Chains A and B, each alone.
Chain A
């Protein structure tokens, strides 16, 4: 009986606790029709310069009374998982930015608002082709292009001059020769790295594979199957290893360019080259302002002298989640962002604007020039909703690189295993 009483008291206490959980204020109540509204905008880290977004948000708030723009910058790492959760929730953000390789997955599953009818209003005639393809699913447009960019070799002009390199390399052989010269000239600096190249920089690997004439996957009927076991793809992987070995890079072989952020390593001043996006150079300059006058860029060289290697055309699209509560506001926000005024600012910031064909602002600096030169040769990953799973989970391309670079697997074994895994992901 004593036991009963004890248990009962415990039960009552627990009930109070549980009830306490239940009655705690349950967050936000969405303001639907009238009164102040909040437009939640998620853009990605490094996308649009803050000068642009500050001006944009201010202009939008000034012209829409009672509207507050809740502007949040998201990190690329883990963004797919975050979007999956956000888009299936009751209160998704109102405007989101999606990587072009991720867009097909979200478009094909009906998580995004169909913007086909609004294209004319959003500068539809000037949309960037490569990005437009990525946001089109079954002939409908589920977003609008934001910007495109691609990797170039970002380098230190002062170190190149000091090493006696007069012109930027235009072939793989010249590139390797430049690395040797840089190493000799900086032999006294133990922290020096001629090229910073982490083991899992797989977008860079794509360039090498394409340059050799291979591809990661090929279309087989209505499915994609891996083609990493082709001789061309293997040659691309092999060149990656050649670069890592020749440069003596101290970068970890089992992480990508974001761990640690390669721009931070470049910012230390002991690195002569890195393969990266323009915003990464911006980040390095921010950390070390001395670098601003000493840096430039050249397109990733090809095996054929005088040509540029094909590059992965990276980019972003803007979209409105299907569950957004502020569709009209979101559309007018996107209309403002797609106007020439803001598109020119994107170009000036060193990216190819998504809704304006006028790229004059882009070629105003050396990095932009290199970008424009190589983006003509831009390619994309297989256009299938399944591709997102390759990037979000355990990317077989990354595992392949680490296994081969560390010597854990032979070239044949590493590419073979990765191919099997890739085919399974693209098929499943």
Chain B
């Protein structure tokens, strides 16, 4: 029993470990010339993805490669490179994988435009279904004929019935 309790405690402990690593991003003691530069750095490392980790940005990851890449970003910033140049520098080495928002180009058309196209297709399907429903209900009405015709039919049916009786 005690052993099991220990196991449960251990598992809980592991869960909390996971939580804490998720909620803390890396805190670094980096000096920046201005708040603006600091904000720029933060945006960049938030938007660049760590190549080693499947779904973490550079800011969140503690992997050695993420640390190196953060340093590289800082170094390129100090060299006066623009955001675009810095991103391009990393893409040239690690491919589009490092961008959480990949550029719009031939290879990424599906990624960017498929959701819009699927949404439009969805609308088309809905419209098609609505139109065809309406048409079929209209057809039903037509088959009963106009008000007069229906009255006429009703009268003849009632007549038939009374004659039988």
User: Is the pairing of A and B real?
Assistant: no
